[in-house]
Structure 1
Amino acid sequence: MSGAAPVLEAVGVGVRFGGVRALDGVDLALRPGEVCGLIGPNGAGKTTLFDVLSGIRRPDTGRVLLGGADVTRRSPVWRSRHGMRRTFQRQQLFGQLTVADNLLVAQEWRGGGGVLVADLLAAPTRRGYERARRERAAEVLRMCGLDTVAEVYAGALPVGRARMLELARAVVDGAEVLLLDEPAAGMTADEHRQLSSVIRRLTAEHGCSVLLVEHDVAFVMDLCARVTVLDLGRVLATGAAAEVRADPRVREAYLGARV
């Protein structure tokens, strides 16, 4: 999809915190059905860029485009209603609800919008809507390997499964653009492989586009078609994963010494 128009773009994005430039003229593009990685040393500006892309923070300079439209001044809720979802470094689950109920709540927030509109039109009764919601939740739980813990309280899940539940909740109502902030943190090697499989399925079968921040560079290089590297708020390198991995500037930024 290299020739397709981007579904999400940052154009010349800059953010200042007092006299510190957290982001300085950052350009980034995410295309349909693509998995892209965003990496960099601590303090590089990765989470700040996610805040700008998701609408939590307004940039001092530059623009954010979603589906070609300028959404720089649009709220996080507006962006969510137009297909964008985000997870956070710190888990944001409803711990006192079951795993299944976390997914049901995620579909309820906008009154049956997104992926369930067709089901509502086909079965406009409340009972039909509830059945459609539960069927969709069950489908996503199976895809994410969470069907065996559907009735477990989310707060009792180990870290790896809690991370997977965050992903499931983000996609259950038809996400088109996913921003995943350290989705593999705390996962075992087997859970890493399962996460990669689910993300690939989301892009291949559902046309979802994924931008992820992750400190596990090997995980990013294996999963992502393209990678952008931030360092001190600027784009240090961007391109195919193999090219970025071989770039001496990237190795220097991570190793802290000239290579």
Structure 2
Amino acid sequence: MTRAMLHAAGVDVRFGGVHALRDVTISVRPGEICGLIGPNGAGKTTLFDVLSGIRRPDGGHITFAEEDITRRSPVWRARHGIRRTFQRQQLFGQLTVTDNLVVAQDWRGGLRPGTRRHRERAAAVLRECGLDALTDAYAGALPVGQARMVELARALADPPRVLLLDEPASGTTADERRRLAAVVRHMAEEENCAVLLVEHNVPFVMELCSRVVVLDLGRVLAEGTASEVRADPAVREAYLGTSPGTSPATSPDASPDDSPGASPDAAECEED
């Protein structure tokens, strides 16, 4: 079996008296799309903060390509290929869509910002993401769905080795979700990128991901294929708050359209 590109082992995080993550172990391999789901407050975004270096864990360690990076900064991780999108969009609103991607490449140096090579790469990524009609639009003026796709494109501007996507489908249309799914699959299958995806739109995750990990109250509750996770009574109870069979509209496999085009309900738009 291929070794993990990114691996978290025994991660603990505390906020005062609150134990946000408890002995969490999770990994993602090159070419794999792994989904991370769980009820609101389960600790999903906190785990992403640990993986991306924004927060240092109180216990456990993180390895990247078998190197311990627990104490490495977010900048070091980004420059070595660990890229992340955010639950709340982090675009440069006063820059054009193209310039948002140019800036993402500039850290390597050796080229004057905005030179042809930067812009050619930006144009290629924007075409792949279906954003080529927005190259000169200002990022701050875009609707939510397009802005999320631009944030994804920016994460791809300098090819990543690990892609951490925090609720990328939130606020998107069905067509945008289909495009998002196609881009993510391409990155995994053609670029051998390791993808870890947090998303409240559970049908989107189940359709897209080859493996799903479920967090609840800061612990790993279940892990397996989409069908295995759907059938797990503990997972259903974590989502329903009762025994399986109650309030099917909130269950992990309930949706009017069980596909990447499925739309989340209001509860799915809340923050972790």
Which TM-score applies when normalising by structure 1?
Answer: 0.92
Kindly indicate whether residue 129 of structure 2 is the aligned counterpart of residue 144 of structure 1. Answer: yes
Which residue of the other structure, out of 16, 19, 27, is the alignment partner of 2:17?
19
Partner residue in 1 for 2:264: none
Deviation sequence 1:26-84 (CA, Å, 0-9, x none): 01010001100000001100011001101111111100111111100110011111110
Deviation sequence 1:95-138 (CA, Å, 0-9, x none): 111111111111112325xxxxxxx7xxxxx69x8221111111
Letter in 2 for 1:108: D
CA distance in 1, matches of 2:230, 2:115: 47
| Structure 2 residues without counterparts, runs of 5 or longer | 245-272
Aligned residue for 1:73, secondary structure, equals coil
Which residue of the other structure, out of 37, 46, 60, is the alignment partner of 1:62?
60
Matches of residues 186-197 of structure 1 in structure 2 within 5 Å?
186-197=171-182
Matches of residues 54-93 of structure 1 in structure 2 within 5 Å?
54-93=52-91
Partner residue in 2 for 1:49: 47
Aligned residue for 1:109, secondary structure, equals helix
Aligned residues: 244
Partner residue in 2 for 1:117: none
Which residue of the other structure, out of 28, 31, 36, is the alignment partner of 1:30?
28
| Structure 1 residues without counterparts, runs of 5 or longer | 113-119, 121-125
CA distance in 2, matches of 1:38, 1:221: 10
CA distance in 2, matches of 1:160, 1:208: 23
CA distance in 2, matches of 1:218, 1:24: 26
CA distance in 2, matches of 1:72, 1:27: 14
Which residue of the other structure, out of 143, 166, 173, is the alignment partner of 2:158?
173
Aligned residue for 1:167, secondary structure, equals helix
Matches of residues 88-107 of structure 1 in structure 2 within 5 Å?
88-107=86-105
Deviation sequence 1:222-250 (CA, Å, 0-9, x none): 00000000000000001111111111111
CA distance in 1, matches of 2:139, 2:126: 13
Aligned residue for 1:236, secondary structure, equals strand
Partner residue in 2 for 1:115: none
Aligned residue for 1:80, secondary structure, equals helix
Aligned residue for 1:28, secondary structure, equals strand
CA distance in 1, matches of 2:206, 2:146: 23
How far apart are 1:212 and its partner, in Å? 0.8
CA distance in 1, matches of 2:119, 2:17: 50
Which residue of the other structure, out of 184, 201, 212, is the alignment partner of 2:169?
184
Percent identity among equivalent residues?
A: 69
CA distance in 1, matches of 2:142, 2:214: 32
Kindly indicate whether residue 214 of structure 2 is the aligned counterpart of residue 229 of structure 1. Answer: yes
Partner residue in 1 for 2:145: 160
How far apart are 1:20 and its partner, in Å? 1.4
Partner residue in 1 for 2:250: none
CA distance in 2, matches of 1:135, 1:26: 41
Partner residue in 2 for 1:246: 231
Say what the alpha-carbon RMSD is for the aligned residues.
1.3
Letter in 1 for 2:10: G
CA distance in 2, matches of 1:179, 1:173: 14
